[in-house]
Structure 1
Amino acid sequence: MSLDVKHFYLGFADLSLFEDAQLSIAEGEIVCLSTGVLDGGTSFLKACAGIVPYQSGTLLVDGEEISHMPADKIFRKVAYCYESGGLVSLFTVYNNIALPLKYHRNFDNDFVAKRITSVAELLGIASILEYDVHQLNDVQLRLVNLARALVIRPRLLLADELQSGMSPAMREQILAILKDYCNQTRASLLMTTTAGDSHSIADRVYRIENKKIILESP
């Protein structure tokens, strides 16, 4: 699923985050966006997911303006993984992962259970499915957010600083899973990264500089 961002302006009140930013991702590509402190990386991802409105420019998902797409269409094709938060505190891990399948689809309980079990085992979180959200550490929270995204089998996956806090071995394992997913489904992945994160699976790496998105390495 392609993503095309052109002449992109985003800000809040008197704070301007992006001015005339550009970024294009083709179907099946993996792109990392290297971010710093409070430079707008999270807000950019949320705009790409249709969560945060932007002031002007175009943000096209498969050629369709994200702001014009109905919510159910976005939920079926685009998934955003929160760096922190994003989960319902009153729900177990299982029920959090089940949310997009139960509320935006008409799958029966057996199908939902099989899909969740498959993704949980893949990510190594099957043992915490009955945990409450408050029992999770930061890495587990990010993995549960990732599982909730993957259960819908999105065409565009947006992951915010997913690697934070992971050991090198876990990081490479999760990145390999994401690369395999993109290779098998032709889904596209845009992932923000921070200092110490790996860009090993990226087709290209960009950084945020002076309110623009700059190519760092092909």
Structure 2
Amino acid sequence: MSLHVANFYLGFDELSLFEDAAIEIAAGEIVCLATGVLDGGTSFLKACAGIVPFQRGTLLVDGDDINQLPPEQIFRKVAYCYESGGLVSLFTVYNNIALPLKYHRNFDNEFIVKRIQFVAEQLEIADILEYDVHQLNDVQLRLVNLARALVIRPRLLLADELQSGMSPAMREKILAILKRYCNETGASLLMTTTAGDSHSIAERVYRIENKKIVLE
């Protein structure tokens, strides 16, 4: 699924984060957006997911205006992985991952169990499925967010600083899983990164500079 952003303006009250920003991601591409402190990377990803409204510009997902798509259509195509938070504190890990399958799709329980087990085993979190959210560390929280995204088989995956806190071995394993997913499904991946993160799977790397998105 492609992502086209042009003439993009995003701000909050008197603070402007992006002015006339643009980025283009083709179907199946993996792109990293290197971010710094409070430069708007998270807000940009949330705008691409239809979570945060932007003030001006064009944001097309597979040719469709994100502002014109019903939430259920966005949900079926686009998945956003939170860097922190994003999970229901009263639910177990399993029920958090199952949430989009149970409440936004018409799948039977056997299918849901198999889908969750497959993704959990890939990400090596099968042993924490019955944990409560408060029992998770920061890396586990991000992996559960990723699992909840992958179970819906999104066409556009937006991952916010997913690599933070991971060991080099874990980082490369997770990146390999994401690369394989994009290769097999034709899905696109836009991932924000921070200092020390790997760009090994990215076809291009951008950074935020002077409220624009520029190629490194």
Alignment TM-score, normalising by the size of structure 1: 0.99
Alignment-derived partner of residue 69 in structure 2: 69
Alignment-derived partner of residue 187 in structure 2: 187
Alignment-derived partner of residue 117 in structure 1: 117
1:86 and 1:118 mapped to 2: Cα distance?
22
* Residue identity opposite 1:120 in structure 2: A
> How much has 1:67 moved relative to structure 2?
1.0
Alignment-derived partner of residue 22 in structure 1: 22
Alignment-derived partner of residue 89 in structure 1: 89
Identity %, equivalent residues: 84
* Residue identity opposite 1:63 in structure 2: G
Gaps of 5+ in 2: none
1:65 and 1:160 mapped to 2: Cα distance?
22
| 3-state DSSP of counterpart to 1:130 | coil
1:194 and 1:131 mapped to 2: Cα distance?
28
1:80 aligned onto 2:80: yes
1:84 and 1:67 mapped to 2: Cα distance?
25
1:143 and 1:179 mapped to 2: Cα distance?
16
Alignment-derived partner of residue 129 in structure 2: 129
Deviations 1:43-74 (A, max 9, x none): 00000000000000000000001111011111
What's the RMSD between the two structures over aligned residues?
0.3
Gaps of 5+ in 1: none
* Residue identity opposite 1:65 in structure 2: D
Alignment-derived partner of residue 153 in structure 1: 153
1:139 aligned onto 2:139: yes
Alignment-derived partner of residue 205 in structure 1: 205
2:40 and 2:170 mapped to 1: Cα distance?
27
1:208 and 1:100 mapped to 2: Cα distance?
32
* Residue identity opposite 1:41 in structure 2: G
* Residue identity opposite 2:39 in structure 1: D
> How much has 1:84 moved relative to structure 2?
0.1
Alignment-derived partner of residue 47 in structure 1: 47
User: Any runs of at least 4 consecutive aligned residues in structure 1 with deviations exceeding 6 A, and if so which?
Assistant: none
Alignment-derived partner of residue 34 in structure 2: 34
* Residue identity opposite 2:80 in structure 1: Y
1:71 and 1:212 mapped to 2: Cα distance?
27
2:102 and 2:58 mapped to 1: Cα distance?
32
Alignment-derived partner of residue 56 in structure 2: 56
1:99 aligned onto 2:115: no
1:57 and 1:188 mapped to 2: Cα distance?
21
Alignment-derived partner of residue 3 in structure 2: 3
> How much has 1:186 moved relative to structure 2?
0.3
1:168 aligned onto 2:168: yes
Deviations 1:136-169 (A, max 9, x none): 0000000000000000000000000000000000
| 3-state DSSP of counterpart to 2:166 | coil
1:149 and 1:122 mapped to 2: Cα distance?
13
2:75 and 2:46 mapped to 1: Cα distance?
13
* Residue identity opposite 1:177 in structure 2: I
